[in-house]
Amino acid sequence: MRVADLPLPERLIRHYHGRGIVELYPPQTECIARGVLEGKSLLIAIPTASGKTLIAEMAMHQHAAKGGKSLYIVPLKALASEKFEEFGDKGLRVGLSTGDFDRRDDRLGRNDIIVATSEKVDSLIRNSTPWLREITLLVVDEIHLLDAPGRGPALEMVIAKMRHQKPDLQIIALSATIGNPEELGGWLRAETVVSEWRPVELYQGVYFRGRIQFHGRDRAVETKSRFEDVNLVLDTIKEGGQCLVFVSSRRNAESLAGKVASALGEGSPTLQEWASRLQKMAETEGERRLADCVLNGAAFHHAGLRREARAIVEACFRRGEIKCIVSTPTLAAGLNLPARRVVIRDHHRYQSGEGMVPIPVMEYHQMAGRAGRPHLDPYGEAILIARSREDIPELFRWFIESPPERIRSRCATVWSLCSHILSIIATRFVNDRMGLQAFLQKTFYHHQKGDPELLNAILRDSLEYLLEHEMILTLGGRYVATEFGTLVSRIYLDPRSAELMVGILSRAEAFSTLGFLQMICSTPDMPTLSLRRGDEVLCERAVMSMGDELWVEMPLYGGGGNPESYFRSLKTAMLLYDWVEEAGEAIICERYSVGPGDIHTMVESVAWLIHAAGRLAHMFAKHMFPEIEAMELRIRYGVKRELLPLVRLKGIGRVRARRLFNNGIADISALRAAGIAGVTPILGAGLARQVFSQLDGQEVDEESGGLQTTWEDYPEMRNG
C-alpha cells in the first residue's frame, strides 16, 4: 500500500516521502485495513522497527484534521522527550507534559498532540484538567508495562478512567512483546494486529566456544581475545556493524566496556572531542572510565551515569561513532538504539530468596528486538552466550523458542488501588459503593479474572482506611472527599505517605533537616537505595551520633518491624542530607556507592515529595511550612540555606554560589554593591555580565524563589 494513497494531510505525505517512506510495511497495511484511520481501536503487537509509531502518528494527524486531540502515553520521561522530538515539525502542534503532579497544564490544551507519562496523565485527571475532555485518540506505548508492579496499576487506571469519561475514545495500544494479545485486546475492545514480520531479518542463536549456533546452521567467530563476549563484539565491528551487549550489573557493564575499548584501540578525532567533553564533566572514577572507553569507540550505559553523559553516548552510537555499548537492561526499555548484533550475556540474575533465576522471556525479546537497523543492516542477530555445551538447547528452549509471558493486571492489592479509589471519589467520577464496584469492573483485572469478590474486598478495605484517616466521609450513603483527601489526590500521594507526613509534622516541635528527609524517605512513594556491605554499620553510627535529629525510630529486631527497610530509607536520607549540606558529588558517590545519575534520580524523586509535604504542612502544621518551602529550593540546587538568594540566578549553581558567598557576596544587594568589576575575578567576565544582565532585567523569579530552570536546561546548576 502506497503512502500517497492514504487519506493523510499532504504535508505529512511529503514529509514521509522525504524520509524515503513510500510504501507501507505489511503490518502497517493490515492496520489500515483494520480501520485504524477510520476510528477503530487497535492493539498492535509487532516487532521493534516494524512501524508501530508511524501508524499511531498517521492516526493522530487524522484526528487533528477533524478537530480532535491525541494523547500519547509513554512509560519514561526520556522516551517522552524522544517522541516529542519525533512528532514535531510535521504540521501539528505538539506538547510535552512530564512535570509537577499538581499542575493542570491548561496551556497544553492548545496542542494537537500531547505526550506524557502515565503518572502525569493520572495527575492531570485528578486535577480535572479541562482539555482531557477534548481527547479523541489515546495512544498507549509499551502497553505490556501493565504487568509492571510499580507503574502497571497507574497505567491500568488511567486507561479505565479515560474510557469512563469518553466511552467512544479510540485507543491504539503498542508493544513488541505480548503473550496474550487477544485477552488484552478484548479488554480494550480493540482489534488485534499481531505479526512477526520485521524490515530486517532477525537471526537468534547461542554462542559457545567460538561458534554461534542458529536454527539449522552455525557459523564461526574469530577468537582474537580470551573473552568470548569481546570476540562477539569484535566480530560484529569487523563486518561493519555495531553491537549492544546486555549484562546484569553496572560493574559488569563498566568492566566489559573497558575490555572492548582496549581491544579496539584509539577512535576517530570526533570521539576524541566527545571523550574530552566527558572528561571535563567527570567527577567520579566511573565517569573518567567512560571517557576513556568513548575515546576508543566503546561505552557503557546505566542509570548511575549523569543524564548528560548518557545523552552523549546515545548520540555517538546513533551516528555510528561508538561501535559498542555495554548496558544494563535499562536501555531495553524503549529508547531507540538498534544495532547489528545484540548480545545477551547475562541471561540470569540474582533474585532475593531464590538465587540466580532466568530473566523473563519478555525481557529477552525486548533486548533481542533491538537487533537490526532498518536501511543500515542486511540482518540482525540476537546472541545468547552459553556457559556449557549442555546449556545450548536449554537456552533455545527457554528464551528463543518461548513466547513472552502473559500480561497480568497488578491491581489486586489494597495499596495498589487505595490511592486510585480516593482519586475517583475526589474527582466525582462516582460517589457510592455500587458506582465504585461498577467502575472497578472496567479494569483489566476484572476482565482477566472475571471474579468481583477480591476487588470488592479490596474496595471495602480501601474505603475503611480512607474513612478512618478522614480522607473521605459519608453523606447520605455517598462518599465525599474531605479537604485533606482532595489535596492528597491532587498532589498524587499514596494515602499512607500523606498520613505518615501529617502525623510526624504535626508532632514535631522543631525542624530537623535530617529528620525531615528521613520522614520523606520512609514514605511508600520514595524509592530508596539498596544496602551494600557495611551500610548497616554506617546507618547505625548515624543513629548513635545523630539520633536526636531523626524523626522515625528504628524498629526493634524481632519486634515486627523491618530493619532493612529502615536502613534503606535512612541511607537515602543521609545521601540527600549530604547533598543539601553541599558535599561534592564525588564524595557522595564514594560514600554511598552510587553514581551521579543516582543522585539526580534521588533528588528528582524527593523534590516532589518535599513539595507535597509543604502543601500538607500548610494545612496541618503551618509552623513547619517556611522551613519546608526553603528545603524545596535547597534540594533542587544542593545548597545550604544561606546560598538560596544566589542560586536564584541563572547560571549560578552550588559551586559558584559558594564561591561568591566565601568572597563576601551573600545576596543580591551585595552582588549589586560589588558590581561587575568585583564579581568578574570570581566568576569570569562572561558569566559576570550574564548575571548583571539578569539583575538589570529583573529576571529573578521572586514568587517561586528561583528561576524556572531544570538540570536539563542548565547542567551547571548541579556542577557550579
pLDDT over threshold 70, residue 709? no
pLDDT over threshold 80, residue 586? yes
pLDDT in tens, 326-344: 999 877 665 778 999 999 9
Q: Which of 393, 435, 383, 443 is nearest to 413 (CA)?
A: 443
Question: What does the alpha-carbon distance between residue 138 and residue 72 come to, in Å, rounded to a whole number?
Answer: 6
pLDDT over threshold 90, residue 718? no
- Structural domain harbouring 378: 202-400
When divided into structural domains, the chain yields a total of 4
> Can you give the CATH number for the domain in which 281 is found?
3.40.50.300
pLDDT in tens, 468-495: 999 999 998 899 999 999 999 999 999 9
Q: Residue 596: inside a domain, yes or no?
A: no
Question: Do 98 and 135 fall into the same domain?
Answer: yes
Q: Residue 499: inside a domain, yes or no?
A: no
Q: Look at residue 694 in the predicted model and tell me its pLDDT.
A: 87
pLDDT in tens, 181-198: 999 999 999 999 999 999
Question: What does the alpha-carbon distance between residue 24 and residue 10 come to, in Å, rounded to a whole number?
Answer: 16
DSSP 40: -
Q: Which of 365, 366, 349 is nearest to 357 (CA)?
A: 349
Q: What percent of the chain has pLDDT over 90?
A: 81
CB 331 within 8 A of CB 301: yes
Confidence of residue 714 (pLDDT cuts 50, 70, 90): very low
Lowest mean pLDDT among 349-358, 454-463, 584-593: 349-358
pLDDT in tens, 498-533: 999 999 999 999 999 999 999 999 999 999 999 988
Question: Do 190 and 208 fall into the same domain?
Answer: no
Question: Do 235 and 383 fall into the same domain?
Answer: yes
Kindly state the cell numbers that stand for 583. 558535599
pLDDT over threshold 80, residue 179? yes
Question: What does the alpha-carbon distance between residue 102 and residue 625 come to, in Å, rounded to a whole number?
Answer: 18
Q: Residue 333: inside a domain, yes or no?
A: yes
Q: How many CB atoms lie within 10 A of CB 39?
A: 16
Domain boundary among 142, 161, 194: 194
Radius of gyration of the chain (CA): 27
Phi-psi region of 89 (alpha: psi -120 to 50; beta: other; left: phi over 0): left
Q: Look at residue 350 in the predicted model and tell me its pLDDT.
A: 82
Q: Look at residue 418 in the predicted model and tell me its pLDDT.
A: 96
Question: Do 227 and 323 fall into the same domain?
Answer: yes
Question: Do 94 and 229 fall into the same domain?
Answer: no
CA dihedral defined by 640, 646, 648, 650, rounded to 10 degrees?
-120
Q: What percent of the chain has pLDDT over 70?
A: 94
Question: Do 282 and 332 fall into the same domain?
Answer: yes
State the DSSP string of 508-525: -SS--HHHHHHHHHTSTT
Domain boundary among 490, 518, 542: 490
Kindly state the cell numbers that stand for 489. 489526590
Domain boundary among 163, 194, 225: 194
Residues 516, 99, 287: CA angle, nearest 5 degrees: 75
Confidence of residue 404 (pLDDT cuts 50, 70, 90): very high
| CA distance from start to end of the chain | 55
Q: How many CB atoms lie within 10 A of CB 124?
A: 23
314 alpha carbon, distance to own chain's centre = 16
pLDDT over threshold 50, residue 258? yes
Output the CA–CA distances (angstroms, integers) from residue 569 to 536, 564, 575, in the order listed. Answer: 11, 9, 10
Q: Residue 182: inside a domain, yes or no?
A: yes
Lowest mean pLDDT among 89-103, 362-376, 690-704: 690-704
pLDDT over threshold 70, residue 96? yes
